[in-house]
Structure 1
Amino acid sequence: MPTKRKEPRSKFYELLQQQIQNEFNASQQYLATAVWFDNSDLPRLAKLFYRQAVEERNHALAITKYLMDTDHHVEIPGTGEVRNDFAEAVELIELALEQEKGITADFRTLVKTAREEDDYQGEQFLQWFLKEQVEEVATMTTLLNIVKRANGNLFEVETWLARESAGGKGDSGLPSVAGGAL
């Protein structure tokens, strides 16, 4: 059995380990969101969030693969609390937007830390994630605007999703994923 370094780990690698948990947490929250929409007979919204859940899972495992490739010990964490109860659809989209903004802040901290520690490979690895977060925040911001403009008529949102194919691009250029991307 190969032995991976456990100690000492830099702050950057500790933050990467934490980001694995953050990504899995985001995945689980997106699953809960997808199920809420699915249970509300809103298949396009459900599909969007099921896809988002898989993307976040893939992001967690891309970080896992990077840690393994750089000879660091990896622990797969449990996930945190997931919100399942919502009164209306706008709450789910607002939560998704806040989640994406939080993940963006996490990646900015990671890049800053890698730079401070002169970890140029780590900083380079994170560039794709920074670019991805611009897209994720923009997607959720647009979706929130569409949901608000629909003024409670979620079938209008479903029609917009069908027309625009929002969120259907996938993770083009994603770094290698442990076990392979789904």
Structure 2
Amino acid sequence: MTPSSVQPAVMPAASFHDLLRAQVQHEFTASQQYVAIAVWFDRNDLPQLATRFYNQSAEERRHAMMMIRFLIDNRLDVDASSIGDVVTAFESVVEPVELALAQETAVTEQITALARAARAEGDYIGEQFTHWFLTEQVEEVAAMQSLLNIVRRAESNLFDIEQYVAREIGGSVIRATNAPKEAGSA
């Protein structure tokens, strides 16, 4: 056999369940990243932004727990043992919000890949499960883009940013009422 006649190994596409297990880690990483961002805002005396990101951290954790519940309910293996790298140091107020937007954009791509895999596999239950997350990501990317726009416009006027967050966003995180059930919830 000559080297030119050797066919490259074709890597099978990751299955929906494998991608969902990986997404659990991504969601926990996102949660921890938001804690790091919130702590940075808290340490820099920006309580409104800190509260917003502490709440966003809890929301990402809820997403992971929803995915865990789905895996458990479908009698599938679950691993919630690790997270990815988290950034903890920033030079300006803009940097953590830019990171948050990039993170939400990446999560949107990951959830889209989940939906695509479920559809390709004919896993209609899995595909239906991803619909709520797709809708959620549209809202989260839009909210983070708006916050980034405000932070960039305000430049160094941190008081204006804090007033905007208190007035328009508060600590709340958008949450649909038809959300999947979370692991550990009553």
TM-score, normalised relative to structure 1: 0.91
Question: Once structures 1 and 2 are overlaid, which stretch shifts more, 166-175 or 14-23?
Answer: 166-175
Question: Once structures 1 and 2 are overlaid, which stretch shifts more, 14-23 or 73-82?
Answer: 73-82
Q: How does 1:106-121 map to 2 (within 5 A)?
A: 106-121=110-125
| Residue type at the aligned position of 1:111 | A
Output one character per residue of 1:105-135: Cα deviation in whole Å (capped at 9) or x when no partner: 0000000000000000000011000000001
Q: Which residue of 2 aligns with 1:7?
A: none
Runs of 4+, deviation exceeding 4 Å: none
Query: What is the distance in 1 between the residues matched to 2:44 and 2:150?
Result: 18
Aligned-residue offset at 1:81: 1.1
Preserved contact between residue 34 and residue 50 of structure 1 (Cα < 8 Å): yes
Query: What is the distance in 2 between the residues matched to 1:157 and 1:174?
Result: 30
Matched residue count: 172
Q: Which residue of 2 aligns with 1:12?
A: 16
Stretches of structure 1 that go unaligned for 5 or more consecutive residues are 1-9
Aligned-residue offset at 1:100: 0.1
Query: What is the distance in 2 between the residues matched to 1:170 and 1:135?
Result: 7
Preserved contact between residue 48 and residue 171 of structure 2 (Cα < 8 Å): no
Aligned-residue offset at 1:167: 6.0
Q: Is 1:131 matched up with 2:101? A: no
In structure 1, which of residues 68, 81, 84 is the aligned counterpart of residue 85 of structure 2? 81
Q: Which residue of 1 aligns with 2:68?
A: 64
Aligned-residue offset at 1:165: 2.6
Aligned-residue offset at 1:171: 2.3
Aligned-residue offset at 1:159: 0.4
Q: Which residue of 2 aligns with 1:95?
A: 99
Stretches of structure 2 that go unaligned for 5 or more consecutive residues are 1-13
Aligned-residue offset at 1:161: 1.1
Aligned identity (percent) is 50
Q: Is 1:40 matched up with 2:44? A: yes
Distance 1:167 1:105, change over 3 A: farther
Query: What is the distance in 1 between the residues matched to 2:121 and 2:183?
Result: 25
Aligned-residue offset at 1:166: 5.0
Query: What is the distance in 1 between the residues matched to 2:151 and 2:47?
Result: 15
Query: What is the distance in 1 between the residues matched to 2:134 and 2:166?
Result: 28
Aligned-residue offset at 1:31: 0.2
Preserved contact between residue 62 and residue 176 of structure 1 (Cα < 8 Å): yes
Aligned-residue offset at 1:83: 0.5
TM-score, normalised relative to structure 2: 0.89
